[in-house]
Chains A and B, each alone.
Chain A
Amino acid sequence: MDYSQKVMDHFMNPRNVGSLENANGIGTVGNAKCGDIMKIFLKVNDNQIIEDVKFKTFGCGAAIATSSMATELIKGKSIYDALKITNKAVMEALDGLPPVKVHCSCLAQEAIQAAILDYAQKNNIKIDTPKASSKSTCCHN
């Protein structure tokens, strides 16, 4: 697989792996049938800043690397800024992805949004989630 050094770095040494006991926003996207599941755990503080974030991912090298990078990009950001992070931003931060792996970056964006949405719903906050620029839905959906 033609992965950039950054992708390989985030795959070999993923940042923020694990789960958060006191998470107040959890998002799970993808399905096992397609071979990709991403689960993101958020700890959002009263100022709506993402204080801590962890992930668990079942998937290929790109799925793990994009999850890792996505968590890095949103850590310390407000939920509103985090919602603005696109799959393209995740890809660019990783110095690109092979064309067949672009859907992994979409999944990462969707996972962030799903986790923030979960937090928002639990706290009665109304937010709009932007759509991913290309579809991550695969064969079986």
Chain B
Amino acid sequence: MIYFDNAATTMLDPKVLETMMPYLKTSFGNPSSIYKLAQESHIALENARSKIAKILNARPDEIYFTSGGTESDNWAIKCIAQAYKNKGKHIITSSIEHHAVLHSCKYLESQGFRVTYLPVDKDGLIDLDELEKNICEDTILISIIFANNEIGTIQPIEQIGKIARNHNIVFHTDAVQAAGSIPIDVKKMNIDSLSISAHKFYGPKGVGLLYLCKGVKIIPFMDGGAQELQKRAGTENVASIVGMANALEIANENMEQNIEKITLLRDKIIDNILKTIPHCRLNGHRTKRLPNNINISFEFIEGESLLLLLDSKNIYASSGSACTSGSLDPSHVLLAIGLPHEIAHGSLRITLSKYNTQEEVDIFLSYLPGIIKRLRDMSPLYEEFLQKQTR
């Protein structure tokens, strides 16, 4: 099996699983209880919080554990907006956010908020002047994705944060794809609020966090007990939180060498495909992109067919075609960077991990041209294109 869908989820690092096991087996106490068994859980929880805070350059009391990236995004967008609604009802975000942010913004629109969806250029970057221009007196929140999950483009987060600070506006970023992959420093980057999900960096599923800068107001999303400084009720998922902290620690320690190794594989794939297969284009910025992301559109073919043929070779990847998005439209991100529908349908996303090897890349590259040719040979669009060429 060649697993190339690491933006969807990653394999749990066996070392991470080991650190989780005691809290699934013997130290199962509820961190909110007072006896010794519970204390073990409580200490593990707070250690995890401190570790994560240190890596992000935050304070431990600025880290709130959640069930994952989607909850963190929902909580931040909806509940920061609610907390500031007396100051204003305008929010600025981008047109290439994850649906957790986009749909939260849509919800807020239904509640009387105004949302500006900033366009992006052909590489998927927002324009900082455009951002500044769209700031109004009643703008209360800016939310821009740190690095895009489909095309890997990394936004100028530090500058966005600076603009938000200058205007005294809360700045949230969905860092689900960035965390554990590239450096994040919330203080240096002027970030007020940030979402992270553990399963994107070899941690367990169902756990994440929201970083919230001291002084930024938010209302609770989950009501109940007094957990997480009374801001997020519910018994903490101790084992998974311990696993997340450990996974982030491992990712942080090996970040430089992983970036180097994975970037090398990424560039090999990009260069090889663009050189050997005609009528294709790279989506996303060539250099301002996640080390592990490759997104290429192949003209005249449809993405799901491509995925199924790769699957038949035990190679697992993803696509932005309508057929894989569960709707009739191809990916909103690919449309936002200006791809025509028919080309967006033919996209392939490869997202690498620290476990991928040169050999796997070579196997993939040996199969791909044949698969593309096979689909083009049966495509009426390609036939039409060839006929036009010879006319």
A positions within 8 Å CB-CB of B: 1, 8, 11-12, 14, 17-19, 28, 32-39, 55-64, 100, 138-140
Contacts and interface: CB of A to CB of B under 8 A. Distances in A.
Given A11-B308, A17-B378, A35-B345, A60 B302 contact: yes
Given A18-B378, A35-B322, A58-B382, 5 more contacts: A11-B305, A11-B308, A37-B381, A56-B380, A58-B380
Contacts of A55: 378
Contact of A14 (B326, B328, B330, B378): B378
B342 A60 contact: no
Contacts of A14: 378
A61 B304 contact: yes
Interface of B: 300-305, 308, 312, 321-323, 326, 328-330, 340-342, 345, 377-383
Contacts of A33: 340-342
Dominant secondary structure at the A interface:
mixed
Contacts of B382: 58
30 contacts: A1-B304, A1-B308, A11-B308, A14-B378, A17-B377, A18-B378, A28-B380, A32-B381, A33-B342, A35-B321, A35-B322, A35-B330, A35-B342, A35-B345, A39-B380, A55-B378, A56-B379, A56-B380, A58-B301, A58-B381, A59-B323, A60-B303, A60-B321, A61-B323, A63-B302, A63-B305, A64-B378, A100-B323, A138-B328, A140-B341
A103 to B, nearest CB: 9
A62 B323 CA distance: 10
Contacts of B300: 58
B150 to A, nearest CB: 17
Contact of A19 (B303, B326, B340, B383): B383
A60 B381 contact: no
Given A32-B342, A35-B323, A64-B378, A56 B305 contact: no
Contacts of B302: 35-36, 58-60, 63
A62 B380 CA distance: 16
